[in-house]
Structure formats: structure tokens, C-alpha cells
Amino acid sequence: GAVVSQHPSRVICKSGTSVKIECRSLDFQATTMFWYRQFPKQSLMLMATSNEGSKATYEQGVEKDKFLINHASLTLSTLTVTSAHPEDSSFYICSARKGLPTDTQYFGPGTRLTVL
């Protein structure tokens, strides 16, 4: 199997506060993890690629100082939304790359962030 957990599943916070989302690969090691944002009725939008032990690679238009990513171990990556604002409200999904032979991304269940 290839199980990825994400915590919390839902979070509500006040504007200006920071929120941390954890992504864990439970039964495999993942040197690469990905963070996505999904707007209602749309496809996934890649925010950044997280590599264990190195800095994340952010997609164009994603503020690295606002969306802090840490991939400190082979099973854990975190996304911190700093100074959150209502426009950051969204569904955030992480995925972890499982290597050969499948070399496939497996996804966490997502986190619904609501910023008041």
C-alpha cells in the first residue's frame, strides 16, 4: 500500500494568524512531496515541490514567504500559511512520491482552510 495522511483535515483561523499543515507518508519513504491547492470544481494547482533536506521549489506566482514548506524527514513535509488572509481559504492537498517500481504520487486526504 501507499498511505499518505494529512493533518488537520479542517482548520478555521483568524486573519493574520499562521496555520501549519502536516503531510506524512505512513508506509513508505518519500524524498519528494508536493503541495497543491484546489479551488472549487477545478483541477489541482501545484504550489511547490518539496525535497527532503533541501529547499522547496515554488511555482510561479506562489509566494515562498507566505507558504513556508519544510521537508525535514523522508516521511514528513509541512506547509505553513503565514499571516493568513481570507483569500488563502482553500482546499490544500499534499502528495508523496513513491519510488520504483510504481514511481507514482499518492495523495493525502486534503485540508480545508477557512480564514475568517
Partner 1 sequence: AQTVTQSQPEMSVQEAETVTLSCTYDTSESDYYLFWYKQPPSRQMILVIRQEAYKQQNATENRFSVNFQKAAKSFSLKISDSQLGDAAMYFCAYRIADSNYQLIWGAGTKLIIKP
Name the minimum Å distance from CB 29 to partner 1.
15
Q: Which residue has the cell 514567504?
A: 65
Name the minimum Å distance from CB 63 to partner 1.
19
Of 55, 35, 31, 32, residue with least CA distance to 44: 35
How many binding residues for partner 1 (CB under 8 A)?
Answer: 21
Q: Phi first, then psi: give them for residue 87, nearest 5 degrees.
A: -70, -10
Look at phi and psi of residue 102 and say left if phi exceeds 0, alpha if psi is from -120 to 50, else beta.
Answer: alpha
Is residue 15 close enough to count as binding partner 1 by CB under 8 A?
no
Q: Give the one residue of 42, 86, 87, 100 binding partner 1; rule: CB under 8 A.
A: 42
The residues that touch partner 1, with contacts defined as CB under 8 A, are: 32, 34, 38, 42-44, 46, 49, 57, 91, 93, 95, 97, 102-107, 109-110
